[in-house]
Amino acid sequence: MSKHEIDRRAFLRGAAVTSALVMAARALPLAPLAAALDAERHLARVKVARNRVIRTVVGLRPYRSEGFVIEAERLGRKLLVHNYGHGGAGVTLSWGTSSLAVDLARDFVQTRPDRSANRRFAVLGCGVIGLSSARLLQQRFPGIVSIYAKNLPPDTTSNIAGALWYPTSSFDPEQVTAKFSEQFRVACQLSNRAFQGLVGPDYGVRWTDTLELIRNEASLERELFGGAQLYPQTEIHRDPKRYFGFPFTRQFSTMMIEPHVYLRALLRDFYIAGGKVVVKEFKNRQDIARLRESVIFNCTGLGSRALFDDQKLIPVRGQLEVLLPQPEVDYCYISGSGYMFPRRDGIILGGTFDHDDWSLQPDPQQTTAILEGHMEIMKQAGDQ
């Protein structure tokens, strides 16, 4: 008997076994089959310990209780477009608000008598909002795009973000208008779709299971931020033994963005498309007005408070503890005690939101509180 014949028979036997398994699965009722598949899900325990902390980082979120600012104004003969104030959702909303902001420049560019003169664009800021705006300008308008910034990746506020696609802590629901709410909804949809197109290792974007750990059943009625349609495969669990002692868990799929990979990829794309970066700090509007570009995008985040006298813009301080990476942890969770996001550069533990606090120094007491809060959650994990 030839080796070819042996391989052929082995293949046919394997195919027969596979076919039998498929037929058996089809014979099972769908609910028990789904339950059986779900039972295989293993939630690896996060090893929360002080001696596993590899770094502590602090960032200042640019927060406005009335929500982000997307608006255009004239600066002499120039057009100035504002895109700032995203709170804790800068990465999440970046493509959406940048798209809305770039739209505001279309009429100015297309209706000027000397169009070529108006196709020089300046973007102030090289965080995620500035880079997203710059890339969209390159894609939508033939012209020259320059980024002016004091800090570049990896030294921007965006590099410190937890960066789960989840547009939370970006405004006060009681302070926003109906117009803003619609703008927020559109920005979420645009941004979500854009990130889906970037999923893969090149941009550090991936789909992930996220668990919202809930103690009060009434909280299940709250819609997920941006709209339920943006979170596929949403399920409700009532199994405290399995879900860290919480009586209710809302599980959904969303995207995890790794800032150190993502921002580097955006900056690379910007350069490849002919963009230029100038390291420069602006002190006031007069400095900005002296730029040679006729269309200027303000993406300076918290810097807009001083540059444009927006006293409604305040810092919301966030401190993160980063643990050694754990490749086996393949889910995120959000709870009243904070959040946990697993990334290749470490396990991100957060949960602080200190309004109007300008300090960038790590707080040892907050370190202890963050670690103890997540230790308490993991105590309920047992030997799942």
What pLDDT was estimated at residue 254?
A: 98
- Averaged pLDDT for residues 122-151: 96
What pLDDT was estimated at residue 109?
A: 83
Asked if residue 344 is part of any domain, the answer here is yes
- Averaged pLDDT for residues 208-228: 94
Span of 34-38, 212-216, 246-250, 285-289 with lowest mean pLDDT: 34-38
Residues 6 or more apart in contact with residue 178 via CB below 8 angstroms: none
Asked if residue 6 is part of any domain, the answer here is no
Q: In this structure, which amino acid lies at residue 42? A: H
Closest CA to 326 of 100, 104, 49, 87: 49
SS3 of 337, please? Answer: coil
What pLDDT was estimated at residue 6?
A: 36
Q: Where are the alpha helices (DSSP H) in the chain?
A: 3-27, 30-39, 90-103, 106-111, 128-140, 178-196, 259-272, 285-289, 304-307, 364-379
What is the band of 119 on the pLDDT scale with cuts at 50, 70, 90?
A: confident
Total domains in the chain come to 1
What pLDDT was estimated at residue 381?
A: 73
- Averaged pLDDT for residues 282-306: 96
Radius of gyration of the chain (CA): 24
SS3 of 286, please? Answer: helix
What pLDDT was estimated at residue 292?
A: 94
34: pLDDT strictly greater than 90: no
Asked if residue 20 is part of any domain, the answer here is no
Torsion on CA atoms 160, 326, 367, 263, rounded to nearest 10: 0
**Average of per-residue pLDDT values in the chain:** 89
Asked if residue 36 is part of any domain, the answer here is no
Contact 168, 86 (CB under 8 A): no
What pLDDT was estimated at residue 116?
A: 55
Asked if residue 41 is part of any domain, the answer here is no
What is the band of 115 on the pLDDT scale with cuts at 50, 70, 90?
A: low
Asked if residue 267 is part of any domain, the answer here is yes
Asked if residue 35 is part of any domain, the answer here is no
pLDDT tens digits, residue range 248-290? 999 999 999 999 999 999 999 999 999 999 999 999 999 999 9
337: pLDDT strictly greater than 50: yes
CATH classification at residue 59: 3.30.9.10
What is the band of 9 on the pLDDT scale with cuts at 50, 70, 90?
A: very low
What is the band of 1 on the pLDDT scale with cuts at 50, 70, 90?
A: very low
Give Dmax over CA atoms of the chain in angstroms. 88
Q: In this structure, which amino acid lies at residue 68? A: F
Tokens representing residue 290 in the block:
């002296």
Question: 228 is in which domain, residue-wise?
Answer: 50-379
Asked if residue 10 is part of any domain, the answer here is no
Closest CA to 357 of 303, 304, 317, 326: 317
- Averaged pLDDT for residues 29-50: 68
pLDDT tens digits, residue range 179-212? 999 999 999 999 999 999 999 999 999 999 999 9
End-to-end alpha-carbon separation of the chain, Å? Answer: 49
What pLDDT was estimated at residue 108?
A: 85
68: pLDDT strictly greater than 60: yes
As a whole number of angstroms, the distance between CA 72 and CA 80 comes to: 6
Tokens representing residue 87 in the block:
């709170």
What pLDDT was estimated at residue 18?
A: 38
- Averaged pLDDT for residues 239-246: 94
As a whole number of angstroms, the distance between CA 373 and CA 338 comes to: 8
What pLDDT was estimated at residue 382?
A: 56
Using a 10 angstrom Cβ sphere, with 0-12 exposed, 13-18 middle and 19 or more buried, the burial of residue 285 is middle
Ramachandran category for residue 227: left, alpha or beta (phi over 0 → left; psi -120 to 50 → alpha) = left
Tokens representing residue 159 in the block:
């590099």
As a whole number of angstroms, the distance between CA 42 and CA 331 comes to: 10
Other beta carbons within 10 angstroms of residue 279's beta carbon come to 11
Looking at residue 203, the DSSP 8-state letter turns out to be T
